Structure 1
């Protein structure tokens, strides 16, 4: 009988214990959680007491500590100069850049409204001069596409959180900023490659001469008392040369600093990365503002300018008025293409005057 009771108890007691655990799990979990949290609080308190206020004060001041890592600045937990970089970038450079970009756009709009586009003073002759080769045009449009898309993605990274993020869903903003970041990182090196090709291809045509000084003093005949005149110029005038060297100089700063940011594997410190970021941003803003004017002249500000970079050829009248010295060189070589007779006659007649049959 006793053995039967013992066997029954050995089977029933574990079952009762299991039921008891199922019936009161919150109490056990709460006690366990309190025990864990209590141990964590004790550990944190002991750590604070062990380190002391002086230790954390030094951490906040950016003092380097001891570490087994041999990489630069791995002993620094908090980068104090990084606060200066953040203030320069967010509080000064970003607002100033926005003002500069919108100011440049406002200036070209005013120029179009007040001054108007530069039109040819004489009718087109229909005779063409070869100005840009296929390689020239390929380089120009490749750089144009690369620069504009990089500028757009860069502006999205800097200003998108102010102008776009508040008005779209958070998930969509995440996809947009991720795509902009990846595009900027991977296409950026292509800008550097194109910049090298453009430097090698056009640097000889872009050297300044005495003629360019006179062109600049007369402001290209676009405004002021010299408006309507056509200062002498060779293949490139002073304005085009200025845009070219603006691209080369500030493009080089933007490209090199961008490569520093793209490949932080050559021992760059946080100071190097912060300085590269500021140089990259400043150079890019200068380029964007400068090319607002370049794009304006090409698309709206001068008759026949875009035509040359699209077809590679310019009209004889355009060459005479804007690049007379280059025109004389081409004319002396006999490299001016003859125009179709019908087109030439129709372009030389005033509007509304009938063409006479010469048969």
Structure 2
């Protein structure tokens, strides 16, 4: 019995010794290993290492994509400064400045009204296809502009005042909408180019129209300079849309599909070009929207119904009016009274 107890005591003592050695030795080994790793990290992440990283030197990676071995892109800092410190503030000034200008134009100059009463006789100006294309482009452009402005300026004007989760949802929604609707804008732009380019070719009449400032301001207000189907201002807006719209669309597609070997610099340049061109378009269409809604009597009516009053046509597009009337004389087209007043006036002159 005594021998059995001795053997058990020795066994327990051996086990305790083994356990103590087990905990003590790995601690010492761990400590030594930790010191080695720390030394390696210190050597790896030294000043020389990070200097090379910041200079954009490329390391090794199994990825074959361009610049994937570059941890820090030095030109990216320049892109960030240009975007956040210069482009964003300048864009905000341009947009608010454009809004201020149209408000001042409305208050101090006032809308351009018809100088003579309406006849009640309507002239066909826009087909259903024209109007469908116009309003589709208008909706697409305005919603893309809103979502784009939200992505650029929302963090300054909205983010501080809404819950973080809600802000994240807004950004996600704006980004996804912008990405998926962008290609549709490009398709609509091609239709706009094909549909209206013939009516938008500049000529000398447009130069005279601009010299008289469209008859909208100053000493020329109410003079109604001559114009064909499209006046100089409409042609300017059209080519502004085509030129900068194409830049916005192409640069947007580059950003939408970064799978064709684009480098960081390609994406950064596309981002800047996309944003600047979009801001120019937004400012231009602030004036277009003002003219359509408030600045000219009868302008919106034509794009909603497709028809304009003869008085409006004669005062704002006299050359087109004369062309239509000459075709009427040859029996090719016909103006029809569409109001009771216009019908009575037509009966009296018949």
TM-score for the superposition, normalised by structure 1: 0.86
- Larger deviation, residues 72-81 vs 308-317: 72-81
Q: Distance in 2 between matches of 1:93 and 1:115?
A: 31
Asked if the contact 1:211/1:233 (under 8 Å) is kept, the reply is yes
Task: State the Cα distance separating 1:203 from its structure 2 match.
Answer: 0.5
Contact 2:111 2:297 in 1 (8 A): yes
Task: Mark the CA change 1:101 to 1:50 in structure 2 (over 3 Å): closer, same or farther.
Answer: closer
Q: How does 1:182-221 map to 2 (within 5 A)?
A: 182-221=176-215
Q: Deviations over 1:102-161 (max 9, x none)?
A: 000000000000010110000111111111111110110000000000000000000000
Shift of 1:77: 1.2
Q: Does 1:90 align with 2:84?
A: yes
Q: Please name the residue that 2:274 is paired with.
A: 280
User: Given the superposition, is the C-alpha separation of residues 210 and 55 from structure 1 closer, same or farther in structure 2, using an over 3 Å criterion?
Assistant: same
Task: State whether residues 121 and 339 of structure 2, in contact with CA within 8 Å, keep that contact through their aligned partners in structure 1.
Answer: no
Going from structure 1 to structure 2, the CA distance change for 1:341 and 1:318 (only over 3 Å counts) comes to: closer
Matched, 1:319 2:313: yes
Q: Distance in 2 between matches of 1:105 and 1:99?
A: 10
Q: Deviations over 1:270-297 (max 9, x none)?
A: 0000000000000000000000000000
SS in 1 for 2:73: coil
Offset, 1:228: 1.1
Indicate the residue corresponding to 1:235 in structure 2.
229
C-alpha distance in 2, partners of 1:34/1:296?
79
| In 1, Cα distance between equivalents of 2:304 and 2:138 | 13
Per the alignment, do residues 41 and 338 of structure 1 end up closer, same or farther by CA in structure 2, a change over 3 Å counting? farther
Secondary structure of the corresponding residue to residue 333 of structure 1: helix
Listed one character per residue, the Cα deviations across residues 200-238 of structure 1 (whole Å, up to 9, x for unaligned) are 100010000111010010000111221110100000000
Distance 2:106 2:2 in 1: 111
Corresponding residue number in structure 1 for 2:19:
none
Q: Please name the residue that 1:339 is paired with.
A: 337
Give the structure 2 partner of residue 309 of structure 1: 303
Deviation, 1:63, is 1.4
Flag as ranges the 4+ runs of structure 1 deviating above 6 A.
2-9, 32-38, 345-348
Deviation at 1:52, TM superposition (A): 4.7
Cα distance change, pair 36–345 in 1 and its aligned pair in 2 (3 A): farther
Count, aligned residues: 337
State the SS of the aligned residue for 1:303. coil
Contact 2:56 2:71 in 1 (8 A): yes
**Deviation readout 1:59-116 (Å, 9 max, x if unpaired):** 1111123334322112211100100000000000000000000000000000000010
Task: Find 2:73's aligned residue among 79, 82, 87.
Answer: 79
1:55 CA drift (Å): 2.6
Task: Work out whether residues 236 and 323 of structure 1, in 8 Å CA contact, stay in contact via their aligned partners in 2.
Answer: yes
Give how far 1:171 is off.
1.1
1:56 and 1:98, CA in 2 relative to 1: closer, same or farther beyond 3 A?
same
Task: Note the residue ranges of structure 2 that are not aligned, 5 or more in a row.
Answer: 17-22
Q: Distance in 2 between matches of 1:38 and 1:236?
A: 84
Aligned twin of 1:257? 251
Tell me, which stretches of 5 or more residues in structure 1 are unaligned? 17-28, 349-356
RMSD (CA atoms): 3.0
Normalising by structure 2, we get a TM-score of 0.88
Q: How do 1:96-175 and structure 2 match up within 5 A?
A: 96-175=90-169
